[in-house]
Chains A and B, each alone.
Chain A
Amino acid sequence: MGIIKASKLVHEYIRRDEEGNVESIQTAIDHVDIDVKAGDFIAVLGHNGSGKSTLAKHINALLEPSEGTLWVDGKDTKDPKNTYEIRRAAGMVFQNPDNQIIATVVEEDVGFGPENMGVPCEEIWTRVEESLKSVGMLKYRSHSPNKLSGGQKQRVAIAGVMAMEPKCIVLDEPTAMLDPNGRKEVLRAVHELNRKKGVTVILITHYMEEVVDADYVYVMDKGQVVMQGTPRSIFSQVEKLKEHRLDVPQITLLAHELKKSGLAIADGILTREELLEALEKLYHRKG
């Protein structure tokens, strides 16, 4: 069993009227099975309302399954006794950078998690320093978060989670409110954490470009996992992705269109370099 495993996970949002009668039931997650290996970089792709954020909240035990089971680090999220341990094992970064920073000074915010966990004072300081360094924000340690850019704030939020030394970190659309530069900054920081510290990353997003470097991809639509595999195998199925209202990266789309119009290019091209190589090969072959 991997670090995160879901078996037939179901989540229903139940809306009740004033007397407590059920008004409507909306199934946000519908019998989802996932299995994440420790140390992997996982991406969860999906359109708005596909249930991907609900899934993220389950991994942090912020929501409880309606049916099925979810194990995080071997612990069942349904048992309230495990909640605290699960939150220590799986950190979470949210979409809006402003609404998750608690303190008025960067370093104090990063120290908030360890403070809650009862870490001794000297160790908090070393953890704060290390995690700020790992996201490249050490020189802003005594700044006010209000003066930082969106990307910087989001990196502070990631540092705040890292200071709790989790085994796995869930990022729920961390770049949705950022400009292109901020997005790049945040993604670089996340990839670095995954590579250097071996933290398992679960990146939830609807930007295709962010998925390209992942180890494994789950595609969700209407609460179900509709596709899964390596980025290459996912993006080679352009038509199927479109069915689920998802775009493919521009380069992949271009390669796909070229192939459709008769050029002999492989499926699932992800980067500019790969396309260039494929085209060069084709050109040389033709002489």
Chain B
Amino acid sequence: MLRDITIGQYYPAKSVIHQLDPRVKLMATLIYIISLFSFQGIVGFLLVTAFLILIIRLSKVPFSYMVKGLRAIVILMLITALFNLFLTPGEDVLLQIWKLTITMEGVKNAVFMMVRLVYLIVGTSVMTLTTTPNQLTDGLEKSLMPLRKIHVPVHAIAMMMSIALRFIPILIEETDIIMKAQMARGADFENGNLIKRAKSMVPLLVPLFISAFRRADDLAMAMEARCYVGGEGRTRMKPLSYDKRDYTAYLVLVMFLVLVILARIIL
């Protein structure tokens, strides 16, 4: 049951988006999010929609994969929509029940907020679906390099992320084993109220933590034995390098952002 969890649900395919440098994709996601929350009016909306459809088409990932992520935020979406619907002040009052009023502006806000959230999830999932976790950490490390000037341990953070990714399946398997071992001794993880169930997690978490620390100790020693001394003086087996299509992608991105901003200012 625990083994079904997948992190960084990569969808293998050979598309332009898959082949882009991870740094470009990180940048694209950032620009996309900025434009998503800065567009206004119907033209801006159409621009963002066109961009999203183009990206999805290019990525060759089935649309159903992206919609899967939406299920997790249905409640959040409903709450934001309701708040926007009832609590936006305005002149065009459509309906008034007791102290709650629905205004034209409220309806507009609620609809746009829903659209923004849906686009946010679908758009960012394109990135995680087309980038392997390794590429993602590599891209993150390279893009955050300037932060080293203010003493942010960028390499260490990226290394921690990739090690965490490596150990997630191992620890999940271990949790499964400990759970079965405790169940064999009569532990009950499924019944009882919330507090009781939280308490029953203790005999699961304590051995899991101990074993995780032991693993960390072993791994640190193994890394040291293989001459690991941090990011200084390291070479890369798979160095990131920009290709022609990466520059084109940057150009398209900048154009897109300018268009969205222009649409907001002019219209």
Contacts and interface: CB of A to CB of B under 8 A. Distances in A.
Interface of A: 57, 60, 62, 84, 87-88, 91-92, 94, 96, 98-105, 107-108, 111-121, 124-125, 128, 145-146, 160-161, 164
B195 interface: no
A121 B241 CA distance: 13
Given A94-B222, A100-B218, A113 B227 contact: yes
Question: Which of B165, B221, B225 has the most chain A CB within a 10 Å cutoff?
Answer: B225
Given A108-B238, A118-B234, A128-B237, A101 B226 contact: no
Interface of B: 133-134, 162-163, 165-166, 169-170, 215, 218-219, 221-229, 233-239
Given A94-B218, A105-B134, A116 B228 contact: yes
Contacts of A92: 222, 225
Given A108-B237, A114-B237, A103 B227 contact: no
A146 B169 contact: yes
A101 B163 CA distance: 9
Contacts, number: 89
DSSP majority for the A interface? helix
A116 B234 contact: yes
B237 A113 contact: no
Nearest to A120: B235
A158 to B, nearest CB: 12
A108 B227 contact: no
Q: Which 8 A-B pairs have the closest CB atoms?
A: A100-B222, A99-B218, A111-B237, A113-B226, A92-B225, A116-B227, A124-B237, A118-B233
Contact of B219 (A60, A62, A102, A108): A102
B36 to A, nearest CB: 31
Contacts of B162: 102-104
Contacts of B229: 84, 116
A87 B225 CA distance: 6
Contacts of A98: 170, 215
Question: Which of B163, B226, B235 has the most chain A CB within a 10 Å cutoff?
Answer: B226
B18 to A, nearest CB: 15
A196 B134 CA distance: 34
A134 B61 CA distance: 38
Contacts of B222: 92, 94, 99-100, 102
Nearest to B225: A92
